[in-house]
């Protein structure tokens, strides 16, 4: 059993509403190193390594930016296999002049940036799970400073060659409108477990992962008002073992499809 195998409930795809499909496709392929699976005038589907996980970009012509108080994407998090991969990405992003932040979360080291339309992105590497600290059934997490100099010194001579083949959609972090509504949807209905204590947030997972999905109310106070025409997160696909193929509306106002298609999860 691993954190992203067919026994784990996990996000397998997110769909973003975008204003400029061509430029956003270029960003996700050239900066993040995802590979293009298919593209037409309306959609681009991008593979995350060989995981089966994807990012879908959906072009909309009457796009509007949602209010900061609306629920939405906090970040999509791409999990890379090694610290050297993370170092390679940091050096690559810096060489492109992209502003990158960082966070040492005890269980992982993470880099943060935004795409050209303002969607939050995390690229991270997990520390060995045997080093994670637990209190009862809750994993200890924090946000400390990343030693960027030490990290970048771990880069390889080959450098960043695109998203490594073993990369995954590690987790999804959302801005929600109400924590109790989110708890009912993701824990009571979907079956995730509350895994870590964090102020004004819920970190949730299966298989004792530090989180597959997180939600917070740090900025948001209301659901998405016009999901079809708002830039940013539009739809989420979630794999759950033995689930029926069912679509519902999340407390954030997105459509969510829960499925059991094993071809969309890592072996």
- What confidence tens digit (pLDDT) does each residue in 153-182 have? 999 999 999 999 999 999 999 999 999 999
Which pTM does this prediction carry?
0.97
Over residues 96-152, the pLDDT tens digits come to 999 999 999 999 999 999 999 999 999 999 999 999 999 999 999 999 999 999 999
Helix (H), strand (E), coil (C) string for the chain: CCCCCCCCCEEEEEEEEECCHHHHHHHHHHHCCCEEEEECCCEEEEECCCCCCEEEEEECCCCECCCCCECEEEEEEEECCCHHHHHHHHHHHHHCCCCCEEEECCCEEEEEEECCCCCEEEEEEECCHHHCCEECCEECCCCECCCHHHHHCCCCCCCCCCCCCCCEEEEEEEECCCHHHHHHHHHHHCCCEEEEEECCEEEEECCCCCCCEEEECCCCCECCCCHHHECEEEEEEEECCCCCCEEEECCCCCEEEEECCHHHCCC
Q: What residue ranges define each of the domains in the chain, with the CATH number in brackets?
A: 10-264 (3.10.180.10)
């Amino acid at each position: 059993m691993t954190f992203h195998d067919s026994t784990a409930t996990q996000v397998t795809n997110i769909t973003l509403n975008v204003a400029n499909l061509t430029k956003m496709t270029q960003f996700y392929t050239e900066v993040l190193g995802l590979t293009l699976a298919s593209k037409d005038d309306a959609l681009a589907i991008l593979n995350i390594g060989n995981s089966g996980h994807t990012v879908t970009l959906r072009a909309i012509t009457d796009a509007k930016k949602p209010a900061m108080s609306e629920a939405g994407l906090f970040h999509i998090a791409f999990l890379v296999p090694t610290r050297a991969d993370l170092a390679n990405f940091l050096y690559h992003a810096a060489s492109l002049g992209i502003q990158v932040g960082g966070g040492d979360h005890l269980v992982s080291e993470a880099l943060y940036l935004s795409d050209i339309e303002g969607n939050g992105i995390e690229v991270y590497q997990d520390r060995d799970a045997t080093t994670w600290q637990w209190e009862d059934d809750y994993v200890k997490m924090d946000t400390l400073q990343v030693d960027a100099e030490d990290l970048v010194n771990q880069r390889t001579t080959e450098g960043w060659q695109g998203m490594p083949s073993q990369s995954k959609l590690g987790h999804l972090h959302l801005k929600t409108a109400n924590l109790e509504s989110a708890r009912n949807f993701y824990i009571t209905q979907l079956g995730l477990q509350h895994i870590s204590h964090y102020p004004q947030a819920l970190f949730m997972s299966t298989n004792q992962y530090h989180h597959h999905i997180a939600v917070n109310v740090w900025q948001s106070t209301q659901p998405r008002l016009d999901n079809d025409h708002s830039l940013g997160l539009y739809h989420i696909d979630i794999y759950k073992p033995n689930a029926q193929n069912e679509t519902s509306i999340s407390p954030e106002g997105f459509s969510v499809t829960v499925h059991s298609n094993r071809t969309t999860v890592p072996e």
